Amino acid sequence: MDPLTAVGLAANVLQFVQFAGSLIATGNEIFHSAQGATADNLILDNIYGKLETLSEKLGNKGRMTTPTTEQERTIAALATQCKEDCSELLGVVRKLRVDGTKNRRWRSVKASLRTVWDGRRMDAMESRLERAQRILSLHIIGATRETISTMSETVNALKDQGDRLNINQSSNFDEIRQQLDHVRQEISIVQRASEHERDQHLPLSISPQDIDGLVERLRQVVIAERNIAKEQDVLANIDYEQRSARHEDIPESVENFEWIFNGEFAHWLEKENGMFWINGKAGSGKSTLMKFVAGNDKTYELLSKWAPGGFAVGSHYFWSPGSGMQKSLQGLIQSLLHDIFQKCPELMSLAFPQRWIQGIGGSAVVDQESWSEKGLCQALDNLAGQECLPIKLCFFIDGADELIADHIMLCEYLVRLTRSPNIKVCISSRPWVVFCDVFSEMQVQSLILHNISRGYISKHVRKRLESHPGWQILSAKEEDKEDFINSIIERAQGTFLWIFFVMRFLSTTLATDTLRNLRRRLDYLPSDLHDLFKVMIRSVDSIYYEDMARILLTAQHGDGPLSLHCTLS
């Protein structure tokens, strides 16, 4: 028997004790009126109905688990005895209802009972009721304190789990602790009053309504704890392995991307809805920029003006070499839901209304195996369909071209979501025709990254060369050096990844080569990134071909990114 159940049962016992005591000790006067015996029977019917209700409440103990503490065992024993007494009273009242005559004049229920029972049975019941009333207050107080202690332990465990999940539930825990403190204060008042009444041999003043009030407050705490546990369960189950792996693998920006906050993108963050498309060639720095933007304080400052009532940011980084979830629509939706649920758990009941209702009572809303792409998309649709959300939502989706699915379907789905005034999406991809066509037709704002990156690539190339000792001693005219730098920048076509590999390639002979040979090396390298990779593979010494082939095949057919240990072994 859990402590809260014990307190509830104690309230039922107290209700019976006080009602039965009033019947026997005080006596309910039943006088004939103009209605005669009809009035008598009416009162007896009311008494009978009340006793039936109390009998049913006391009988609920049979469906409870075995008592584990002395207080629970005492309350359970009292309930058993009161159930038996209630059954006896029901039998007596039933007999009075049947045997009562029109001309009989009852002075009290007690007098009526004595016509059915002998004095010893009546006195024995009175004694049992008085005993139950004397000891009940002590055990009600003890059981309530035990309930509060158990609930406090549960709250602490949930708080620890919430901290591990990084879920925003602080206000929920504050409210629960306030409720428990309030109950502690009330039970302290009851305890002081009970001790005084016991010392003065006074009747117990606590009423069943007082206990019912305590039980109801504690039940509300239980419901709040279950909701917190459900929110944590959903967040834990909607997560998946490698969800954040791609984000963590993207290097931090070595370039200054602050320029992104000086134009149309900043205006979109601050004032507009809909979508914003960042497109660029492979290796142009889209992922690095998206990571920079999604986690930048300036982004959050601008979004706070768009959503003064609060907002949540969700992000996903598609990655075709990664696991199935990292390149699927289902992985995208789970990532976005995970992020916004972490910030605003209240959204769960709006996203999964039917499942949330079915989960009331402590059962799980959903387990990890039951997520489906259709159901997850519907969850976001449910949020988009709300006229008013607790907070607004901004999603950052990187590498949409790496989705292994229908790209048109993805674009149309996201455009549909952003028709909601509460949701907007920033998406990045290569400038494939499918994205150009859909986003052009939908009049989505865009930014072409490789056109903007030229100036930053120029700074990067000059910095790398000028910091290299070989460049300082290179025997060549300054204008020829400048022409060589411009050739590198022009060949890059705004692609940071191409620059990264080419600069490493040129740096290996920068200290020994002439400028003429450096230019030949540059001309030898293809401008296309895919062709550049072919050159790099062909440049590997033939004695390493077998090892290289093994690593590449393992990476190609693996379920996810390779660990360093796997690569070396």
Pairing mode of beta strands 445-448, 392-398: unpaired
Q: What pLDDT, on the 0 to 100 scale, is given for residue 35?
A: 42
- Per residue in 197-220, pLDDT tens? 666 666 556 677 777 788 888 889
Distance CA 29, CA 562 (A): 88
Which of 101-105, 146-150, 310-314, 376-380 is predicted with the least confidence, judged by mean pLDDT? 101-105
pLDDT 10s digits, 9-22: 877 887 778 777 77
Asked whether residue 301 falls in the same domain as residue 379, the answer is: yes
Helix axes of 454-466 and 478-492: crossing angle, nearest 10 degrees: 130
Whether 479 and 385 share a structural domain: no
Query: Band of the pLDDT at 527, cuts 50, 70, 90?
Result: confident
pLDDT tens figures, 548-566: 888 888 877 766 565 655 5
CB 181 within 8 A of CB 155: no
Q: Residue 432 pLDDT > 70, yes or no?
A: yes
pLDDT digits (tens, 9 = 90+) for 303-325: 999 999 999 999 999 998 888 99
Q: Let me know if residue 563 belongs to a domain.
A: no
**pLDDT on residue 199:** 67
Is 170 a member of any domain?
yes
Structural domain contains residue 548: no
What is the pLDDT at residue 566? 55
Give me the pLDDT at residue 25, please: 59
Asked whether residue 543 is assigned to any structural domain, the reply reads: no
Highest mean pLDDT: which of 218-232, 292-306, 460-474?
A: 292-306
Verify that 369 and 335 share a domain, yes or no.
Answer: yes
Q: Are 439 and 458 part of one and the same domain?
A: no
Domain count, the chain: 3
Question: Angle at the Cα of 422 (from 418 to 426), degrees rounded to 5?
Answer: 45
Report yes or no on 504 lying in a domain: yes
Between 316 and 506, where is the model more confident?
316
Q: Grade residue 398 by pLDDT with cuts at 50, 70 and 90.
A: very high
What does the alpha-carbon distance between residue 380 and residue 338 come to, in Å, rounded to a whole number? 12
**Domain end (from 236, 255, 271):** 236
pTM for the model stands at 0.75
User: Is residue 408 domain-shared with residue 465, that is, in the same domain?
Assistant: no
Asked which of 236, 262, 279 is the last residue of a domain, the reply is 236
pLDDT digits (tens, 9 = 90+) for 341-393: 999 999 999 999 887 877 644 445 555 445 789 999 999 999 999 988 999 99
Residue 544 resides in a domain: no
Quote the pLDDT of residue 12: 81
Task: Give residue 470's domain range.
Answer: 454-538
Same domain, 513 and 436: no
342 with 167: CB under 8 angstroms? yes
Q: What is the pLDDT of residue 415?
A: 92
Residues 308 and 290 in one domain: yes
Can you give 342-365 as a three-state secondary structure string?
Answer: HHCCCHHHHHCHHHHHHCCCCCCC
Q: How sure is the predictor about 37, in pLDDT bands with cuts at 50, 70 and 90?
A: very low
pLDDT of res. 98? 60
Q: Is residue 51 part of a domain?
A: yes
Decide: residue 209, CB within 10 A, 0-12 exposed, 13-18 middle, 19+ buried.
Answer: exposed
Assess whether 529 and 483 both reside in one domain: yes
Q: If you average pLDDT over every residue of the chain, what do you get? A: 82
Asked, for residue 11, whether it belongs to a domain, the answer is yes
The CATH number of residue 379's host domain is 3.40.50
**In the predicted model, is pLDDT for residue 506 greater than 90?**
no
Q: Could you tell me the pLDDT band of residue 112, with boundaries at 50, 70 and 90?
A: low
Between CA 109 and CA 40 the distance in angstroms is 10
Tell me, yes or no, whether 348 and 297 share the same domain.
yes
What is the predicted pLDDT for the residue at 70?
Answer: 74
Identify the pLDDT of residue 107.
47
pLDDT band at 130 (very low <50, low <70, confident <90, very high): confident
Residues 173 and 260 both lie in one domain: no
